[in-house]
Structure 1
Amino acid sequence: MIKIQGLVGGYSSEKPIINGIDLHIEKGEFFALLGPNGSGKTTLFKLVTGQLPVLEGELLLTNHPISYYSKLEKAKKVAVLTQEIQISFDYTVEEIISLGRYPHQTGFLKSLSTKDKTIMREVMQLTNTEKYKDKQFRNLSGGEKQRVLLAKALTQEPEILLLDEPTNHLDIKHTFQMLDLIKEWQRTRSLTVFAILHDLNIASLYADRLALLHGGKFLEVGDSETLRKEEQLAKVYEVLIKAESHPVVPKPQLLMTPGNVEKEKVVAFSENFSFYQDEEYVHIKSSAPLRTISNGVVGEGIKWHKHFCNFHVSKTYHCNDPINDIQQWLTERSIPHEQTVGMMTAVQLSDVVVQKEKIEDLELMAVVTAGVGNAVDITKTALKQIPVTIGTINIMLFIHAHLTDGALVNGLLSAVEAKTKAMHDLQIMDPQTNTLATGTSTDAMVLAVTQHGEPTPYAGSGTLIGKGIGHIVYKAVTEAILTYQKRVGLNA
């Protein structure tokens, strides 16, 4: 559909900006052009649209040079939407959109046919611009104008849509609405899209392929996985970039780190936490956000949190909507649920165990409640869904260390191993299988680290951190289970 070979061009033949680019964009493909200001994106765009002359090489649209097409033929084939939204004359929105049908009109007077009006009406409905049709274009907001110009472009029924940073004037909602609509036309009408996008995350979500332009040349052309190359992106954009996976779609999303990040004041680990406890909940608050990995009811995954809460519920509590319940309880106590890891337990909170350890320079704290009435041997239990009951070993583990995400997972595994060993040594049995239990059916855990000190990628059983985790979790879980057994009248 678009074929570029050895392309050289720019504003001056003596110093071209684009220096030997090869590219092939297939029919029905969404291709995004990325790069910082000055990389040559706009120059390449103007070469493709014919606004600048090609000095060397070849640029073909559907196997023909741009010069092969008359202006009218090119307008039937290609629509252009730029970030410039100035219109010289005072047209209504409907008049602006009607201009998109001009290449398809016949006759001397070029009047709108029934087909033209039908297409205009369909596109205005799709772009949500019909309500503006009688308004003067100049009276619209920047975002509304951009949607009108998109409607004009789509009304052309082009084979190729060229976009130059089309979402610059749009808020988040309308950015996604516009690109969703373009993707739908790409899918249903085999529309070929060639877009300059400045937002790397948007490009990752919408482009089938993308190119990274730097100094007038392509550093790389590929799919969205190209954006996982952090060192290459940092070189091009001169910003520290971290690639993460989107939680819903299998695409990378990029996090930029400013160069003037103010480091949190280092507070002594022993002074970093405030602790509140009553019959209804336990609340540990950190003076600074901690990097966490958790399977808590609220705050699951790998995130940052300042609040850690364990709520008491009755043994007859029905888990219809535990997330909403905990969020409501947090709100009632003026604790922001967005910054909180929240758990629940039927164990009496007066039995909570708090263990603190210092091993060489490593400081740890474990806060544990344990009930083992629903203990389960995960290797022997019947392969069917078991109704959720409240028993639960809840572990909150805090460490004064700097762990990578991989080390967080390592640390969580170390804690699980220690919990299971404590249960085995205490001979906790699965009542259904009469075998040693490995946990309970509703265990919850959070590992939270201060992220101070040198980063470490490991926290397994062969490391000091892993051994520290195993030591403190084993002690705390053992004490919590013994306390629970004493309360319910069982022999340790």
Structure 2
Amino acid sequence: MIKIEDLVGGYANTTIINGVHLEIEQGEFFALLGPNGSGKTTLFKLITGQLPIKKGEILLSGKPISSFSKLEKAKKVAVLSQEVHVSFDFTVEEIISLGRYPHQKGVLKQLSKKDWQVIKEVMEITKVSHYRKTQFRMISGGEKQRVLLAKALAQEPELLLLDEPTNHLDIKHTFQMLDLLKERQQSMGLTIFAILHDLNVASLYADRMALLHNGAFLDVGGVNTLRKEGQLKKVYEVEVNTQSHPTVPKPQLLMTPNHSLHEEPFYFKDLYKIEQNDQYIHVQFDKPLRTISNGVIGEGIQWVNHFCNFHVKKNYNCSHPKQDIRMWMEIHDIPYEQAVGMMTAVKLKDMVVIEKVIEGIAMLVIVTAGVGNAVDITTEAKKRRKTQVGTINTMVFVDANFSDGALVNGYMSATEAKVKALQELQIKDPDSNTIATGTSTDALLLALTQNGKQTPYAGSGTDVGKGIGQMVYDATLKAIRKYLERVKN
């Protein structure tokens, strides 16, 4: 669709773009990325003809773009720049109707029935129809941007050039605009070349992208270009961490400010307080911890500082557990958005708390346990007996800095230790009469202060992994023994 060959250009005697090569295919959404001063706007102006080309060539559909007349170019290419200034006092409808100029025939260039159909359609899809008779100068910057997009779409171009198209838009209208462009791309084969500042937005919408650095392309490729943390750090000069979006297979970026890398030292035991009564156990930390859990709420990998285990009756109706835990937290003024919540039918007074320092690492483990629902996960699935009181809920807090991989390692270490305790006590699955591996409703939390040098491992071959294992094993043994003694009595 558009091909750039050895392009060189800039302002007067200053060269900004140095020998750029790029090819964008028909129907592609291509994003141009780079920090301020990298040359993005200069490249955009060279493509649109606002700046003269010193060297190289730009081809549009295989022909030099300079060979097209202005009218021919306007039928193929539409431009939406950052500027929203309009010299004359036109209405919104009049601004949008200018987009039909390349398609109008005759000397008087009057709008045809088809022109009005297109104008009406683009006003509706850009959600500016109710402004149609409003003077352009009277609407907000975001509304102006949508009007100018409608004008560009009214041209019915094959190629749409966008310079920061969401610059004046809030989150809602940013996604509305980009969803609209993506739909247009997919349904009509529209080719889109867009300068974008927001790397996360670019990842979600672009098919390919180029990273511009000092007037040259450092990288051109698919969205996984944004997984190259070292490259992004070099270009943007900030700490960058990539992660996967939770629902679509695209990378998302997290920027780390320098101030957060230099925290004041603290004493682990001073960070938390434990409240326990017949209704709940509440562990509150003064600072958020990095957590991985399968709690009823706060599940997955999170940053939270409230950790709760609620008591429920043996015949608890568990049809709405998330709503129930949120309600209980609200009653006790615990912010559920910053919490991990579990539930159990065992007596909370039987909880086991172990605090230790192992190999210089401070740890806290809290376990409540019942084994009435003991299950051997390796046996054939079948309809189980009526639910009994029995859940092993484990909370592990460690004063260390884990990578995401180490979080998973540590979670495995805690699980292995729990299974070892069940084996030691010969706890059996009553349906199969084999040694249980857990209960059907176990919950496990691992929480880290993220203090100190980061460790990538926390498995059984590490001091911290062994420490987690030892403490979880000891706490689980004691908690199950308390439960068994209570059942016996």
Please, what TM-score do these two structures have when normalized by structure 2? 0.97
Structural mapping, 1:209-220, within 5 Å: 209-220=208-219
Structural mapping, 1:18-417, within 5 Å: 18-261=17-260, 263-382=262-381, 391-417=390-416
Answer whether contact 1:7 1:21 (CA < 8 A) is retained: yes
Amino acid at match of 2:115: D
Q: What is the Cα deviation at residue 391 of structure 1?
A: 2.7
Tell me what 1:10 maps to.
10
CA-to-aligned-CA distance 1:248-268 (integer Å, 9 cap, x gap): 111111111112337443331
Q: Which moved more, 1:165-174 or 1:385-394?
A: 385-394
CA-to-aligned-CA distance 1:202-249 (integer Å, 9 cap, x gap): 111110000000011100000110111111111111111111111111
Please, what TM-score do these two structures have when normalized by structure 1? 0.97
Q: What is the Cα deviation at residue 383 of structure 1?
A: 6.5
Q: Distance in 2 between matches of 1:257 and 1:219?
A: 22
Q: Which moved more, 1:267-276 or 1:147-156?
A: 267-276
Tell me what 1:449 maps to.
448
CA-based RMSD of the aligned residues comes to: 1.5
**SS of equivalent residue, structure 1 residue 10:** strand
Answer whether contact 1:319 1:388 (CA < 8 A) is retained: no
Aligned pairs, number: 489
**SS of equivalent residue, structure 1 residue 55:** strand
Q: Distance in 2 between matches of 1:317 and 1:351?
A: 20
Answer whether contact 1:390 1:442 (CA < 8 A) is retained: no
Q: Distance in 2 between matches of 1:383 and 1:152?
A: 63
Answer whether contact 2:99 2:153 (CA < 8 A) is retained: yes
Evaluate the alpha carbon distance shift between residue 153 and residue 131 of structure 1 in structure 2; reply closer, same or farther with a 3 A threshold. same
Amino acid at match of 2:48: T
**SS of equivalent residue, structure 2 residue 402:** coil
Answer whether contact 2:211 2:218 (CA < 8 A) is retained: yes
Q: Which runs of 5+ in 2 are unaligned?
A: none
**SS of equivalent residue, structure 1 residue 411:** helix
Evaluate the alpha carbon distance shift between residue 15 and residue 169 of structure 1 in structure 2; reply closer, same or farther with a 3 A threshold. same
Answer whether contact 1:402 1:449 (CA < 8 A) is retained: yes
**SS of equivalent residue, structure 1 residue 317:** coil
CA-to-aligned-CA distance 1:7-58 (integer Å, 9 cap, x gap): 111113x432111111110000000000111111011101111111222112
CA-to-aligned-CA distance 1:417-444 (integer Å, 9 cap, x gap): 0000000111111111111110111111
Tell me what 1:435 maps to.
434
Evaluate the alpha carbon distance shift between residue 265 and residue 16 of structure 1 in structure 2; reply closer, same or farther with a 3 A threshold. closer
Q: Distance in 2 between matches of 1:227 and 1:19?
A: 23
Answer whether contact 1:388 1:441 (CA < 8 A) is retained: no
CA-to-aligned-CA distance 1:408-466 (integer Å, 9 cap, x gap): 11100000000000001111111111111101111111111111122111111111101
Q: What is the Cα deviation at residue 318 of structure 1?
A: 2.2
Q: Distance in 2 between matches of 1:385 and 1:371?
A: 17
**SS of equivalent residue, structure 1 residue 48:** helix
Q: Distance in 2 between matches of 1:404 and 1:386?
A: 41
Q: What is the Cα deviation at residue 112 of structure 1?
A: 1.1
Amino acid at match of 1:239: V
Evaluate the alpha carbon distance shift between residue 243 and residue 273 of structure 1 in structure 2; reply closer, same or farther with a 3 A threshold. same
Amino acid at match of 2:423: H
Q: Distance in 2 between matches of 1:449 and 1:316?
A: 34
Q: Which moved more, 1:376-385 or 1:323-332?
A: 376-385
Q: What is the Cα deviation at residue 99 of structure 1?
A: 0.8
CA-to-aligned-CA distance 1:262-298 (integer Å, 9 cap, x gap): 7443331222111111111110000111111111111
Q: Distance in 2 between matches of 1:126 and 1:386?
A: 57
Q: Distance in 2 between matches of 1:381 and 1:426?
A: 23
Q: Which runs of 5+ in 1 are unaligned?
A: none
Evaluate the alpha carbon distance shift between residue 299 and residue 104 of structure 1 in structure 2; reply closer, same or farther with a 3 A threshold. same
Q: Which runs of 4+ in 1 moved over 6 A?
A: 383-390
CA-to-aligned-CA distance 1:128-168 (integer Å, 9 cap, x gap): 11111111111101111111111111111110000000111
Q: Distance in 2 between matches of 1:326 and 1:387?
A: 24
Evaluate the alpha carbon distance shift between residue 19 and residue 383 of structure 1 in structure 2; reply closer, same or farther with a 3 A threshold. farther
Q: Distance in 2 between matches of 1:466 and 1:381?
A: 31
Answer whether contact 1:389 1:442 (CA < 8 A) is retained: no
Q: Distance in 1 between matches of 2:316 and 2:134?
A: 58
Amino acid at match of 1:93: V
Amino acid at match of 2:7: L
**SS of equivalent residue, structure 1 residue 24:** strand
Q: Distance in 2 between matches of 1:386 and 1:61?
A: 71
Q: Distance in 2 between matches of 1:175 and 1:403?
A: 35
Evaluate the alpha carbon distance shift between residue 290 and residue 328 of structure 1 in structure 2; reply closer, same or farther with a 3 A threshold. same
Q: Distance in 2 between matches of 1:327 and 1:343?
A: 11
